Amino acid sequence: MPQGNATGSPSHRALDVAIIGAGVVGCAIAHRLTHFDLRVAIFEATSDVCGGASRANSGMAITGFDCAPGSLETELVRAASPRWEQLTEQLGVPFRRVGELVVALGEQDLPALQALAGQADAYGIDADLLTGEQARGLVPALASDVVAALHVPSEAIIDPIRLTIAYAESAVLNGAVLHRSTPVTGFRLSSGRISQVRTAQGDFSCGYVVNAAGLQADEISAAAGAEDFRMWARKGQFILLDRSYGRLVDKIIVPAPSEDTRGTLVIPTTGGGVLLGPTAVDDDDKSNLSHDTATLRGVLEGAGRLVPAVSSAPHIKYFTGARPASDCLYRIHRSEGVPNLVHAAAIRSTGVSASPAIADHVVAILADEGLECQPKALPLRRPRRTVPVREVDPMTYRQLAAGDDAYKTIVCACEHVSAAEIRDALTSPVPALSLDGVRDRTNATGGRCQGSYCSVGVGLMLSNSCGCSAHAVPKDEPGSQWGVGSD
Candidates 2-10, 57-65, 218-226, 392-400 — which segment interacts with other proteins by CB under 8 A? 392-400
- Is 2 a binding residue for other proteins by CB under 8 A? The answer is no
Between 174 and 455, name the residue whose CB sits nearer to other proteins: 455
- Is 410 a binding residue for other proteins by CB under 8 A? The answer is yes
Site for other proteins in 453-482 (CB under 8 A): 453, 455-456, 470-471, 474-482
H-run or E-run covering 365: helix 351-368
| Shortest Å distance, C-beta 161 to other proteins | 14
C-beta separation of 344 from 210 below 8 A: yes
- Is 314 a binding residue for other proteins by CB under 8 A? The answer is yes
| Shortest Å distance, C-beta 475 to other proteins | 4
Give first-to-last CA distance, the chain, whole Å: 32
Between 1 and 395, name the residue whose CB sits nearer to other proteins: 395
- Is 329 a binding residue for other proteins by CB under 8 A? The answer is no
Choose which of 129, 373, 413, 466 interacts with other proteins (CB under 8 A): 413
DSSP assignment of 163-230 equals HHHHHHHHHHHTT-EEETT--EEEEEEETTEEEEEEETTEEEEEEEEEE--GGGHHHHHHHTT-----
- Is 486 a binding residue for other proteins by CB under 8 A? The answer is yes
Give the span between the Cα atoms of 437 and 426, in whole angstroms: 9
| Shortest Å distance, C-beta 449 to other proteins | 5
C-beta separation of 440 from 430 below 8 A: no
Give the span between the Cα atoms of 314 and 40, in whole angstroms: 45
Between 188 and 317, name the residue whose CB sits nearer to other proteins: 317
Choose which of 296, 332, 362, 363 interacts with other proteins (CB under 8 A): 296
Between 185 and 295, name the residue whose CB sits nearer to other proteins: 295
Q: How many residues make contact with other proteins (CB under 8 A)?
A: 54
| Shortest Å distance, C-beta 447 to other proteins | 8
Neighbours of 391 (CB within 10 A): 10
C-beta separation of 310 from 274 below 8 A: yes
Neighbours of 75 (CB within 10 A): 17
The burial class, CB within 10 Å (0-12 / 13-18 / 19+), for 450 is: middle
- Is 244 a binding residue for other proteins by CB under 8 A? The answer is yes
Choose which of 129, 450, 466, 468 interacts with other proteins (CB under 8 A): 450
Choose which of 201, 263, 369, 397 interacts with other proteins (CB under 8 A): 397
Site for other proteins in 19-58 (CB under 8 A): none
Give the span between the Cα atoms of 323 and 87, in whole angstroms: 24
- Is 292 a binding residue for other proteins by CB under 8 A? The answer is yes
Give the torsion sign (CA, 127, 131, 134, 140).
Answer: positive
- Is 317 a binding residue for other proteins by CB under 8 A? The answer is yes
C-beta separation of 357 from 77 below 8 A: yes
User: Which residues contribute to the site for other proteins (CB under 8 A)?
Assistant: 244, 287-293, 296, 314-319, 389-390, 394, 397-398, 401, 407-410, 413-414, 416, 418, 447-453, 455-456, 470-471, 474-487
